[in-house]
Structure 1
């Protein structure tokens, strides 16, 4: 009887996870379609090429698309226990590790751009030019690669030759060869978290002061910029909590495997998918110029004719 009950529980658990995987596929597909429409809108309008905030917005969209595709592929491979050669797992890890940080760091850069636009309007054209945007993108990817470089350097220095010849299910945990590596990775993530939070709070306080002192159109623009910073802060918070998820999941795994699966699923939906659906809301719908262009291309030009 006990064996039958355990069998039923096992079948029910597998069925639940299967439904979860299907739900993830639906959500990822929807988000990718929306992001593809936004990227197409950006590419078809020359105005957006000359504005730093739209260029950084496009970077977040491309980063989110790549990150969602790679995490979804890894989710499916892990679910079906598909093993792969270590060199391929290394490549997947590098991409995911770098683009885990690209979106939150880009959001921080977009917050600074709003700070310059509102608090230093006379210098905005100079500081936020196209050339500055390209330099900013290089800096963002350089900073995002730092944690990955440290982790892989430790792996290359301490792993045995047999480690590279294995075929294993690709997960982040297989690159943690020593317990102190986990603490080191935690320290790096928390340092990034602290620095970005300081920048967000600093920008918010400065824009708040300008918004209170402004009048007329300037006041309206300042408060709109302030709301954008608040949305960036919320989105950034979700992205940064994602950096803590591996440590929470590692602790839960020691308690119960099914609880670990459910926690990992919740973290994926809440802290990976959800923050990446906020970008279309912040710049795809709230920004008037981008919204009109999006509506025009989404309706195949009918919107422009009607207006």
Structure 2
């Protein structure tokens, strides 16, 4: 059984570390991708046709979630690097929101693939299935399902931690909320179950669209093959999400050995699985989609001309 992992460190007692090129690199990359995502969100909001199309709405949701998650994880990374302790209550809120967003992105990717399946394999029913009411219900389901694992982590933490424990300070990370080994194991098991279900949905979608591509007429083959390529790219994103789910296993093992090594490993995972992963959605939809790319290019050119 694992002991409480909290720290009684005070705010004035944290270890000060010099700013180095790794942290500066992260800030530059986060700034660039937040700017690109913000430009795409602005493009989505300014065009009514995008706001009423289910696939663009789902795309915009990934942009919102990825941007917010990137910002929060960057703040958490800076706090961990400089060993800045904060009270437990804001730490819990931060971890729950980050967990919520990190699960929400792959679920939205699955929804985007299913939307392409309906559009290609059931074109006559696409308008009815992708109606505004169904779209709102789908978004609510994504947000609700995404919240299950973070809520499990929060409830288990509050049930295990004594009241005085919440008054202490801690260098915030999701691992600090896992006060027992079984909590960590259960959380990772739930994440793997999520991924297995999402992979099953992706495989079903891919096979169905592949069959549709073989039987499609010459007029619809182009759009069918484009939808198939999009599903393949989403599958690649989902595989990266699997690696992101596996990362906590490695990080927890390293945390028990050396805390500073844990910080360095988490830094590398942040670069690969948060920044790199979160820049794929703009490339897949924002630049590959012809309609969105034309509008985005116009707003980007205007922004550059205004800044200069």
Give the TM-score, by structure 1 length: 0.90
Distance 2:147 2:108 in 1: 13
Distance in 2 (alpha carbons) for counterparts of 1:67 and 1:257? 23
Give yes or no for contact 2:17–2:82 (8 Å, CA) kept in 1. Answer: no
Name the Cα RMSD after superposition: 1.9
Unaligned runs of 5+ in 2: 1-15
- Measured after TM superposition, the shift of residue 219 of structure 1 is 0.7
Which residue is equivalent to 1:245?
Answer: 247
TM-score between both structures, scaled by the size of structure 2: 0.90
> Residue by residue, what CA displacement relative to the aligned partner does 1:235-284 show, whole Å, maximum 9, x if unpaired?
12112321221111111233444543332222111111111101111110
SS in 1 for 2:86: strand
For the pair 1:107 / 2:109, whether they are aligned, the reply is yes
Q: Residue 41 and residue 247 in structure 1: after superposition, are their counterparts in 2 closer, same or farther (change >3 A)?
A: same
Question: Which residue matches 2:230?
Answer: 228
Residues 98-143 of structure 1 show CA distances to partners (whole Å, capped at 9, x for unaligned) of 0011111000100100000011111100101222221111111100
> Are the structure 2 counterparts of residues 257 and 168 from structure 1 closer, same or farther at C-alpha, using a change threshold of 3 Å?
closer
Counterpart contact for 1:56–1:133, Cα < 8 Å: no
Q: Compare relative contact order (CA 8 Å, sep 6+) and give the higher one, 1 or 2.
A: 2
The aligned residue for residue 72 of structure 2 is 70
Gaps of 5+ in 1: 1-13, 303-307
The count of corresponding residues between Structure 1 and Structure 2 is 290
Which of 271, 274, 277 lines up with 1:275 in the alignment? 277
Could you list the structure 1 runs, at least 4 aligned residues long, displaced by more than 6 angstroms after superposition: 14-17
Residues 296 and 273 (structure 1), Cα distance of their counterparts in 2 relative to 1, 3 Å cut: same
Cα-to-partner distance string for 1:60-108 (whole Å, 9 max, x where unaligned): 0000111011001111111111111111111111111100111110001
Contact 1:86 1:164 survives alignment (8 Å): yes
Counterparts of residues 88-167 of structure 1 (less than 5 Å): 88-167=90-169
Three-state SS of the structure 2 residue aligned to 1:300 is: helix
Q: Give the helix-richer structure, 1 or 2.
A: 1
The answer to whether the 8 A contact 1:114-1:225 is kept is yes
